[in-house]
Chains A and B, each alone.
Chain A
Amino acid sequence: MEAEAAKYIGAGLATLGMIGAAVGVGNIFAGFLQGATRNPSAAGSQFTNLILGAALTEALGILAFVLGLLILFS
């Protein structure tokens, strides 16, 4: 196998790390919706925490994305 081809396969494999971030962010919003539909009056006050959790989880997916870019362009 050529080195160039291995590079593209590696970059593609690196982006698989985003699966975990996708599951995590989905879990956060699912949990928020479950809580918010049970107690809608408390939903507004938890918006900042919701976004914070989603951002912290998403960062790990972004790391996989950046790793893929590093493999492609370095």
Chain B
Amino acid sequence: MADPMHQFEVQKIVDLPDFSIPGVGVIDMAFTNSTLAMTLAAGAIVAFMAVSTAKVSVVPGRLQAMGEGAFSYIDNLTTSIIGHEGRKFFPFIFTLFLFILAMNILGLFLVFTATSQLAVTATLAIMTILLVLIVGFARNGASMYKLFVPAGVPWYMLLLVTPIEFISFLLRPATLALRLFGNMLGGHVALKVFAGFIISLGGLAAGGGLGLLGIPGAAVSLGGVVALTALEFLVAFLQAFVFAVLTCVYLNDVVNLGHHH
């Protein structure tokens, strides 16, 4: 059977000279298939938005309705979770959502999924959590500790609640990165394993005799691949949406610290 993990290997397309930063070390600047997938995703978003807003009319056409739909969907999301001040963070969340969605969906059409690389998802998660920390300290200063000390909790419960809140805050970037990575990796491995069954069962059937029993098995596997591909389109959207929602929730925690609305 073909190796289902082969699709996740990062390969160099154009080898560029290494770049060394003193104190950090040598950084490989090669243009890889991961870089290509991300560039294509970014290009697809820019092209989509440029085309959908090229001929703007009061009564939107199909493409304009799609662009406006995506825009207002995330706009509603930020406003409903963060509240009035959600507008400030809308560009960041909209960019994250579209970029992850484009990478996920392009991964279903092309051979490489950028979001199935832990390095990519971890970078997005670290960016998000750094923004949360910067916004939190800029707005609240030293009263950031209230994040771990919920109001209205008796002091003896705080002994238990504060460590739990602190650990769950530290786990946020890890789960944010691992959720997207695990979903995309797991989905694509399952697709390739089922596709591998078709080939190996078909090879069995080609041998003739009792091996012909492999044909119904291969047919079931083919149906499985079709169904899983449909499911993966749902997961591709859902994971981008979940990343955006969680970014909103984490930002809301620090923006509206102490006064829940």
Contact = CB atoms under 8 A, between A and B. Distances in A.
Contacts of A59: 175, 178-179
A48 B81 contact: yes
B77 interface: yes
B241 A51 contact: yes
Contacts, number: 38
Contacts of B245: 48, 51-52, 55
A56 B172 CA distance: 10
Contact of B182 (A51, A66, A73): A66
Interface string B239-261: 00110011001000000000000
Interface residues of A, number: 13
Contacts of B178: 59, 62-63, 66
Contact of A58 (B5, B179, B185, B241): B179
Interface in B1-27: 5
A55 B249 CA distance: 13
A65 interface: yes
A48 B178 CA distance: 20
Interface residues of B, number: 18
Interface in B206-261: 238, 241-242, 245-246, 249
B246 A55 contact: yes
Contacts of B183: 58, 62
A60 B182 CA distance: 11
B80 A48 contact: yes
Contact of A62 (B80, B81, B182): B182
Nearest to B80: A48
Interface of A: 48, 51-52, 55-56, 58-59, 62-63, 65-66, 69, 73
11 contacts: A55-B245, A56-B175, A58-B179, A58-B183, A59-B175, A59-B178, A62-B178, A62-B181, A62-B183, A63-B175, A66-B178
Interface of B: 5, 77, 80-81, 175, 178-179, 181-183, 185-186, 238, 241-242, 245-246, 249
